[in-house]
Every structure is written in C-alpha cells, then in structure tokens.
Amino acid sequence: MEKTFKWQMGTCVEIKASKEQGNVIGRAEYQNSEDQYLVRYCGGDGRAVEMWWAESALS
C-alpha cells in the first residue's frame, strides 16, 4: 500500500508553537512513530532554519 503523507513536498505549513511558516522540503515515515517533516523557514531571529518536525507540531 502506498504511503500517503498529510503534506506534500513544497507545501507551506505553520509551526503550531511559534506560528512561523515554512515549506516542506523533506518527509520521513517510521514504523513506531508519527511522520516527520523537514521544514525550511525563517526563524523569529531572522535566521534561515531547516528542522525536522513531527506531524502533530504542524498545521
């Protein structure tokens, strides 16, 4: 069965805790954990950031 991710590559998502927005640039699935997304965004301090986030941390 083909895996279906909640967000596609390039989708703009929001980090729930900080309201920062960025684009999905990577995805990972794990057998015993929720899906993870690599998001590229501009941090609150103005730096460019790439960080992995759990699906539940994004909207």
pLDDT digits (tens, 9 = 90+) for 40-51: 999 999 999 999
Phi, psi of 46 (to 5 degrees): 90, -5
Q: Where are the domains of the chain?
A: 12-57
Asked whether residue 32 carries a pLDDT value surpassing 90, the answer given is yes
Please choose, from the candidates 39, 14, 34, the residue with its C-alpha nearest in 3D space to the C-alpha of residue 24.
39
Rounded Cα distance, 22 and 17, in Å: 13
pTM of the predicted model as reported, rounded to 2 decimal places:
0.91
Rounded Cα distance, 14 and 57, in Å: 9
Q: Using DSSP, state whether 57 is helix, strand or coil.
A: helix
Q: Are 11 and 25 in contact (CB under 8 A)?
A: no
